[in-house]
Amino acid sequence: MLDYLFNAISRFGQPFSNAIIKLGFACRFMLAILRHSPTSLLRFQLTMREIWFAGVLSVLIIAISGLFVGMVLALQGFDTLQRFGATESLGVLVALSLVRELGPVVGALLFASRAGSAITAEIGLMKATEQLAAMEMMAVNPIARVVAPRFWGGVISMPLLAAMFSAMGIFGGYLIGVKLLGLDEGAFWSQMQSAVDFRQDVINGVIKSVVFGIAISLIAVFEGYDAPPTAEGVSGATTRTVVTSSLVILALDFVLTAFMFRGI
Amino acid sequence: MKRGMIDFWVGLFAVAGIAALLFLSLRVSSQTTLPASDSYELTANFDNVGGLKVRAPVKSAGVLVGRVSSITLDTERYVARVKLSMDSRYHFSKDASAEILTSGLLGEQYIGVTSGADDKMLQAGNNFTITSSAIVLEQLISRVLFNKAETAAEK
């Protein structure tokens, strides 16, 4: 009877203990990446290839999504602001929403879906086909050769992509507000400039996107490296990357916003 | 893909990212926060600051001359003590007045400074002697209603 009870308790606690073990492994993994970063960053071509893979290939989805998000914001914002006779503030609404929140957050969600999942699948498949084991046999450290360049490629790409998302969104807002709905162009830009502060809004947005870049890249390389070496294991790891990254982005966004914009 | 082509695309990506950041910094935002080295501090006491916030602009003749750096309660006199970080290019006379104004009907609140006729100038750490508090809409409406009620009662 007592054995049965102990077994039941241990079965109930297993997922929690597994999660703690996984978190501990992730911390050790992060330290290993940092330790091997100088050697992999010195081999510049490796990181360049990863920036191309994670950053350049994500530009199209980021730019088009940014444009449409800006256009929708302008349409919805105009409808609401018109009721208060404050349509000149449309530029402010579009710019602040994009620079502070939507640029870093939606950009990061798209980046996690497009680049994060691809990184996990690539590393997971390398593990499943025993390429990582082969590297170790040849005295090549897979963390320095495979993981660290992908991590830094993601970290460097993310803020640039978020800036592109915000810029394209503001351009989309301009197209709808000024060109389609006939707002005054001077008022649109001048009100935006007077309300958006470079240090408070733009720099904080960039800091957010750097933090998201670190989180997504770490989750993507970790899930790939930790994936069971089977087809099912790789597909599960890819899904986990997108789900975990999305939740972590939203949670981190709440924490960072509370720190950065409290009291405004 | 060849190494040269990867370098080309990554270079183009970096240029596009930096161009987007430059667009956000030059076209979308402004360097509105005054640098700490080029400013001096003045203080103004108000009976009521209304919705005035830290970093709100200080304007004179519509030109930005400073920013609100802190708002605290003076517990001896129970007035709001507002510290202003003023641009060192602009100086105001000793009898200058500071009032809390609202830009537009629903706009943000800011401090308007009107210079006086005194030859002596306000120095760092000095107080504005003449101040005018924010107009609180509820007080204004209740005053109008009381006046109406009084005139109706007199009739």
Residues B99 and B69 in one domain: yes
Residues B91 and B115 in one domain: yes
**Residue that has been written with the tokens 């991590």 in this structure:** A151
What pLDDT shows up at residue A39?
86
Is residue B148 situated within a structural domain? no
Taking the Cβ of residue B12 and every Cβ of chain A, the question of whether any pair is shorter than 8 Å is answered with yes
Question: Closest-CA residue in chain B for A192?
Answer: B28
Question: Closest-CA residue in chain B for A162?
Answer: B17
Residues B77 and B126 in one domain: yes
**Rounded to a whole number, what is the distance in Å from the CA of B153 to chain A's nearest CA?**
37
Torsion of CA A137, A141, A145, A151, to 10 degrees: 130
Taking the Cβ of residue A263 and every Cβ of chain B, the question of whether any pair is shorter than 8 Å is answered with yes
Which of B9, B16, B32 lies nearest to residue A164, judging by beta carbons?
B16
Q: Do A56 and B14 touch (CB under 8 A)?
A: no
Size of interface A-B (CB pairs under 8 A): 92
- The DSSP secondary-structure symbol of B24 reads I
Residues B3 and B76 in one domain: no
A263: left (phi over 0), alpha (psi -120 to 50) or beta: left
Question: Closest-CA residue in chain A for B25?
Answer: A198
- Which run of H or of E encompasses B140? helix B137-154
CB atoms within 10 A of CB A127: 23
Total number of domains in chain B: 2
Residues B22 and B56 in one domain: no
DSSP string, B91-112: --BTT-EEEEEESTTTS-EEEE
Domain range for B113 is 39-141
Residues B22 and B84 in one domain: no
Taking the Cβ of residue B18 and every Cβ of chain A, the question of whether any pair is shorter than 8 Å is answered with yes
Spans of all domains in chain A: 1-262
Helix residue spans in chain A (DSSP H): 2-42, 44-54, 59-83, 90-96, 103-111, 117-128, 131-137, 142, 148-174, 185-195, 204-226, 231-260
Residues B66 and B81 in one domain: yes
Q: Is the ipTM of this complex over 0.90?
A: no
pLDDT digits (tens, 9 = 90+) for A10-35: 888 888 888 888 889 989 999 999 99
Is residue B153 situated within a structural domain? no
Taking the Cβ of residue A190 and every Cβ of chain B, the question of whether any pair is shorter than 8 Å is answered with no
CB B60 within 8 A of CB B92: yes
Chain A, 84 to 123: residues with Cβ < 8 Å from chain B are 84, 86, 95, 99
| pTM listed for this prediction | 0.79
Which of A48, A164, A170 lies nearest to residue B17, judging by beta carbons?
A164
Q: What is the pLDDT along chain B (155 residues), one digit of tens a residue?
A: 677 888 889 999 999 999 999 998 888 887 655 555 688 999 999 988 888 888 788 899 988 888 888 899 989 889 999 999 898 888 898 888 999 888 766 667 889 999 888 888 888 888 888 888 877 777 778 888 888 888 888 77
pLDDT digits (tens, 9 = 90+) for B112-124: 999 888 888 888 8
